[in-house]
Every structure is written in C-alpha cells, then in structure tokens.
Structure 1
Amino acid sequence: MEKKQWGITKLYNAYFHEPASQLAKLHSKLDSLVLQLYGFQPTDDILAQLLALNQELAAKEQRGEPVIGPWDPTPSQATD
C-alpha cells in the first residue's frame, strides 16, 4: 500500500465491487446484519431511517435514559 501510495479508502474502492472479493462478501454480510438488527428493509430510505433513529436516541440521552444497542440477530452458539 505504501509503494502505491494507497490508503484504506483507495484499497477498499479498488476491490469492493469484485464479486469474488472477500471484502465485498464481508461488506454485504455486514449490510444484511445491520438491516436486520435495526429492523430496516432494503427498500427503506436508510438515511431517513438512520436520521430518525439518531434523533430518537439523542432525545433519550437528553432525558437521561440509557441508550442500548441492538442485539445480535444471529443464533448464539452454546458452549458446554
């Protein structure tokens, strides 16, 4: 990366759209999980949904209420 004068953004942009890219696969999985965590649909206006959520959480903080993140939607693996 240093030799090519690439930062993380250039690296990401160069390989993000390659279907075989592990980075693209991980990003797609992350997107899917975030949508599931927050109850958003892929057809929703995500920016509007995030703004509304941010405003809701900011109001809770101002009222002194705890702000807790969403739970992981994937089944947890039991360890015995």
Structure 2
Amino acid sequence: ALHEYRSQEMERKQWGITKLYNAYFDEPASQLYKLHQQLDKLVLRAYGFKPNDDLLEKLLTLNLQLAAQEEAGETVIGPWAP
C-alpha cells in the first residue's frame, strides 16, 4: 500500500520521492505518515520488538546473530518463516 501510494502521489504531483517525503513524512494527518505508522507496527510485530525497545541495539544483536549463523553455514530465514 505504501509503495502504491507513493507512486501515485509522485506521478500525480510530478514530484520525486524526496520532495514527497519532505512535504508529508512528518505530517500526522497525511496518508504517507499513516502508512509509515502501520509499516512500523508490522515490522515491530514481525521481529517481536516493542515500541520502547532500543531498536538500534536490538537490530545490532539480531545482525550479529544472523552473521554468526551464516558463518557457521546455517540457513538464515526471515522472522515470518516457520
């Protein structure tokens, strides 16, 4: 939905993505803002993170774990896979 919205808005306004984000990303009433809020919630849920977590620390830890798995020759899959 986010990709579709951005594409339509950029085409309609004849703007690039930077101009679109500069105009609407920090505007809570905008559809762009709302779609990013939804995406953020989905990503947090997919990875089992909480909104108040230190996300950079969590992502670094996850990255190091996955790198170690790859180094050991293990298959690395996304959080959505069984």
Question: TM-score under structure 1 normalisation?
Answer: 0.75
State the alpha-carbon separation in 2 of the partners of residues 12 and 66 from structure 1. Answer: 36
List runs of 5+ in structure 2 lacking aligned partners: 1-9
Q: CA RMSD in A?
A: 2.2
**Structure 1 segments of 4 or more deviating over 3 A?**
none
1:26 matched to 2:35? The reply is: yes
Bigger fraction of residues in helix? 2
Q: Which residue is 2:24 aligned to?
A: 15
Aligned residue pairs total: 70
Q: Identity of counterpart residues, as a percentage?
A: 71
State the alpha-carbon separation in 2 of the partners of residues 23 and 38 from structure 1. Answer: 23
Question: TM-score under structure 2 normalisation?
Answer: 0.73
Q: Which residue is 1:62 aligned to?
A: 71
